[in-house]
A = this chain, B = another copy of it.
Amino acid sequence: MNASNRQMTLRRYPEGMPQESDFQVISGAIPDIADGQVLGRAIYLTVDPYIRVHISPSMSIGYAPTTPLGAPIPGEAVLRVERSKHPDFREGDYVAGFSGWQDYAALQGDALRKVDKRLAPLSAHLGALGMPGLTAYAGMTKLSEAEAGQTVFVSAALGGVGAVAGQLARIKGCRAVGVSSSAEKCSYAVETLGYDACLDRTKQDFAEQVAAACPNGIDVNFENAGGPVFWTAMQNMNAYGRVIVCGLIAVYNEDAPPAGPDLSQDLLRAIALKRLVVKGLMVADFWSLRPQFLEEVGGMIKDGRLHSKEHIVVGIENAGVAMMEMLSGRNFGKTVVRIADD
């Protein structure tokens, strides 16, 4: 056990894209645990787009407060149990829980889930088998109404959520069309993840490429990005299509709405004319799906039909940079930070 508890905290709230100097590693005490708690030692930290929302005072949202300056940045982690005062856990167990970006945390046992190393590597339990994977699974199985032969469009196609959404679409017999930010990532999406097509959003002719890749239009837009990619998808939506609003990574760095014109009324108009159904997705509504999800998606990973691709950054001191890279699309897969050996 380290002598201290390293914590990656906010020195100040980022304005726009976070800078390395917005973050600061401090040293805290290793906490005691009370009855019902376990002491967890984090091995992998998650770096998810939604965390950007929690470190902005102007975007504080309902389900979680803004992170105070000097406190560990929030997020899920995979941890090893070091000590337990909860009957379900003992030293050496692997668990996942919301411990934030720090080495050690005292966690309520009842809020933890066990992590099964045999199902997939520990890092995948923050990715395809973790909250992002469950998010994708909930969206595809409960909200999308996707049917075999339909076209499912996935922005952030290699991200934690997108990669699973696209693969589930493909496994369901849909045409899976993804969006990413480089030729290399798009090749991986097609060759390894099995997308039918993946378009590079940085290309000048991106809109034409999307239209060409969706000759029968888009039936489901699994929206992880927002911004221009969202509007390109809208141009291709079929009547009665579904838009699942899961994430808006393209605008998470913005403290204020983008400059005009105001397209909100055009969006409403398009929804009416195409009879779209636009649904908000938050994984917190779907915790009860987890057993079914682990069995189904765990099985797909085991038999090689579904891949979990983590972008692994090493060292808690690099967690802030890992977030900056993820927000600008310089990651390759779901970003996690390894801060200890398992």
C-alpha spacing A159/B261, complex, angstroms: 29
Q: A274-B280, A281-B275, A282-B273 are in contact. Are A268 and B245 (CB under 8 A)?
A: yes
A264 within 8 Å of B (CB atoms): yes
Specify the chain B residue showing the minimal Cβ separation from A275.
B280
- What sequence of 0s and 1s flags, for each residue 208-240 of chain A, a beta carbon within 8 Å of any chain B beta carbon? 000000000000000100110010000000000
Judging by beta carbons under 8 Å apart, are B266 and A257 in contact? yes
Give the residues in chain B near A246, CB-CB below 8 Å: 272
Listed residue (A246, A257, A280) with the most chain B CB atoms within 10 angstroms of its CB: A280
Judging by beta carbons under 8 Å apart, are A268 and B62 in contact? no
A291 within 8 Å of B (CB atoms): no
- What sequence of 0s and 1s flags, for each residue 15-32 of chain A, a beta carbon within 8 Å of any chain B beta carbon? 000000000000000000
Judging by beta carbons under 8 Å apart, are A282 and B278 in contact? no
C-alpha spacing A274/B63, complex, angstroms: 10
Query: Interface extent on A, as a size class?
Result: 35 or more
Judging by beta carbons under 8 Å apart, are A268 and B61 in contact? no
Judging by beta carbons under 8 Å apart, are A275 and B271 in contact? no
Give the residues in chain B near A245, CB-CB below 8 Å: 268, 271-272
Judging by beta carbons under 8 Å apart, are B265 and A262 in contact? no
Known: A246-B272, A258-B260. 14 other contacts (CB 8 A): A61-B273, A227-B265, A245-B271, A248-B265, A248-B268, A257-B265, A259-B261, A271-B278, A272-B280, A272-B282, A273-B282, A275-B282, A276-B280, A277-B280
> 5 pairs across A/B with beta carbons < 8 Å?
A248-B269, A258-B265, A271-B280, A276-B279, A276-B280
